[in-house]
Amino acid sequence: MDKIVALCKRRGFVFPSSEIYGGLGSTYDYGHYGVLLKRNVKDEWWRAMLQERDDIVALDAAILMSPKVWEASGHLESFTDPLVDCRRCGQRFRADHLDQLECPEKPSKPPGEGPNCDLTEARAFNLMFETTIGPVRESGAEIYLRPETAQGIFVDFPQVLQTSRKKPPFGIAQVGKSFRNEITPGNFVFRTREFEQMEMEFFVAPGEAPRWFEYWLEERMRWYVDLGIRPDRLRLRPHDADELSHYSSQTSDVEYLFPIGWSELEGIANRGDFDLRAHAEHSGKKLEYFDSGSGERYVPHVIEPAAGADRATLAFMVDAYDEEEIEGETRTVLRFHPRLAPVKVAVLPLVRKDGLPEIAQEVYASLKPVVQAEYDEGGSIGRRYRRQDEIGTPWSVTVDHQTTKDRTVTLRDRDSLEQARVAIDDLPGEIAGRLRAPWRSPKLAAA
């Protein structure tokens, strides 16, 4: 994880937020390559949820919602973590994470195990960030930053049902920021207080929920594997009854083998009719489906695949990270699936003279409309290749002296290091074809 964090900072993928003021506990900013990478992760999610299907529609609900939403959803009462205080050092800890934490006093031990630790009983701490709406901080003006995007989908269910011309089984998908006042955030962007979720609520007839639950487990596992995650680093872990969230009757986590051990990447839950019923009760509105053909009326049950965009981005980075020895030098390379790579192709003139930069600029201009491309003429060609390897660019085009004679360039593959000679005019089609081709991690072959 330290190597990933260092690479992210060095290449400007992700770095601490507000750093000139000393940072703000576990908040991070995404720089250029980080934005491109996370955007590709989200685009692939949208592709799988919308573009390749006919039964899911998109939504972008507001982050600020009526506080009644959180009363109805149970978050005001139940979205809590158990918290203990140490009377000695004044620190607060998650009671269910004590074995993974360290008391700030020496000798370092888990809280409660140090010679002077004096922990209180555990108490429930609500994770929602509170703020006020309007110019006056008066009672009744309290609202919350949403802790999950899902509730926007539930409260908009009747509106979407009416306008989308869909009927169960169908889904509503949403990507957006969520906020949780985590007691122990950490491990880089794995657990932060502000993060992005990619959630989809799939509405089905009550009797069909178990079947759709199994279906989405398989679909979601496949998504990660198709995007290059090594299958032996992924697993499904069903929740024990005492782990289930207040709304769920059945949940399985997609877990990834992060450097910190097996950890949740995505939760897939059978939420039953909990949410629609709760909002119907609290709002007095009908949140149900009426099938005019059969005359049947029911409250749909919901299967929810809920993923984290930041956590998925981190998993793709961890899985892609590789080091290899080449001619006595260590090459650091991010072996991303080409569709996830922030930059698809780099255009590099071999030298900064002899008319090569001019041709390279022409090549760059022809590729830019097709894919995210980058032009680089600074430094030795070897250094420029290393730079592209480190940001995971799958292909580099080098314009050399032969180009001036026959208008061909070398196309270098990041993983195999093979160099093919390609005509300039064929490049956009060649790159587009390679992007569409099936891909598997070269780390699998090496293992």
Q: Which residues make up the interface to ligand GAP (CB under 6 A)? A: 148, 150, 180, 182, 191-192, 195, 197, 199, 264-267, 304, 306-308, 310-311
Q: How far is the CB of 90 from ligand GAP (least distance, A)?
A: 24
Is 191 or 339 the residue whose CB approaches ligand GAP more closely?
191
Residue 150 CB contacts under 8 Å (≥ 6 apart), including other chains: 174, 199, 201, 275, 304, 306
Euclidean distance between CA atoms 90 and 92, whole angstroms: 7
Kindly write down the DSSP assignment for every residue of 56-98, as one continuous string: EEE----SB--HHHHHHHTHHHH-EEEEEEBTTT--EEEGGGG
For the chain, give percent helix, strand, coil, nearest 5: 35, 30, 35
Q: How far is the CB of 192 from ligand GAP (least distance, A)?
A: 5
Q: How far is the CB of 73 from ligand GAP (least distance, A)?
A: 10
Q: Which bin fits 169, alpha (ψ -120 to 50), beta or left (φ > 0)? A: beta
Euclidean distance between CA atoms 276 and 288, whole angstroms: 8
What is residue 295's DSSP assignment? T
361 C-beta neighbours (distance < 10 Å), count: 15
Q: How far is the CB of 376 from ligand GAP (least distance, A)?
A: 33
Which pair of tokens denotes residue 195?
């993060």
Q: How far is the CB of 375 from ligand GAP (least distance, A)?
A: 35
List the Cα angle 445/333/425 in 5-degree steps: 90
Helix (H) or strand (E) run with residue 174 in it: strand 170-179
Of residues 399, 400, 160, the one with CA closest to residue 300: 160
Is 236 or 371 the residue whose CB approaches ligand GAP more closely?
236
Euclidean distance between CA atoms 200 and 173, whole angstroms: 4
CA–chain centroid gap for 145, Å, is 19
Give the CB-side neighbour count of residue 269, counting CA atoms within 13 A.
Answer: 23
Strands 373-375 and 345-349: parallel
Q: How far is the CB of 180 from ligand GAP (least distance, A)?
A: 5
Q: How far is the CB of 309 from ligand GAP (least distance, A)?
A: 8
Is 75 or 412 the residue whose CB approaches ligand GAP more closely?
75
Euclidean distance between CA atoms 19 and 21, whole angstroms: 5
Helix (H) or strand (E) run with residue 230 in it: none
Is 48 or 265 the residue whose CB approaches ligand GAP more closely?
265
Euclidean distance between CA atoms 404 and 407, whole angstroms: 6
Is 311 or 339 the residue whose CB approaches ligand GAP more closely?
311
Which pair of tokens denotes residue 433?
């074809």
Q: How far is the CB of 151 from ligand GAP (least distance, A)?
A: 8
For residue 299, the cross-strand partners are none
226 C-beta neighbours (distance < 10 Å), count: 15
Q: How far is the CB of 161 from ligand GAP (least distance, A)?
A: 20
Is 287 or 397 the residue whose CB approaches ligand GAP more closely?
287
Answer yes or no: are the C-beta atoms of 172 and 276 closer than 8 Å: no
Is 30 or 364 the residue whose CB approaches ligand GAP more closely?
30
Q: How far is the CB of 12 from ligand GAP (least distance, A)?
A: 21
Q: Which residue is nearest to ligand GAP (CB)?
A: 308
Q: How far is the CB of 82 from ligand GAP (least distance, A)?
A: 16
Is 177 or 421 the residue whose CB approaches ligand GAP more closely?
177
Q: How far is the CB of 212 from ligand GAP (least distance, A)?
A: 16
Is 271 or 335 the residue whose CB approaches ligand GAP more closely?
271
Is 190 or 385 the residue whose CB approaches ligand GAP more closely?
190
Q: Both ends of the chain: CA-CA distance in Å?
A: 20
Is 191 or 387 the residue whose CB approaches ligand GAP more closely?
191
Is 191 or 301 the residue whose CB approaches ligand GAP more closely?
191
Euclidean distance between CA atoms 360 and 346, whole angstroms: 10
Which pair of tokens denotes residue 233?
């680093």
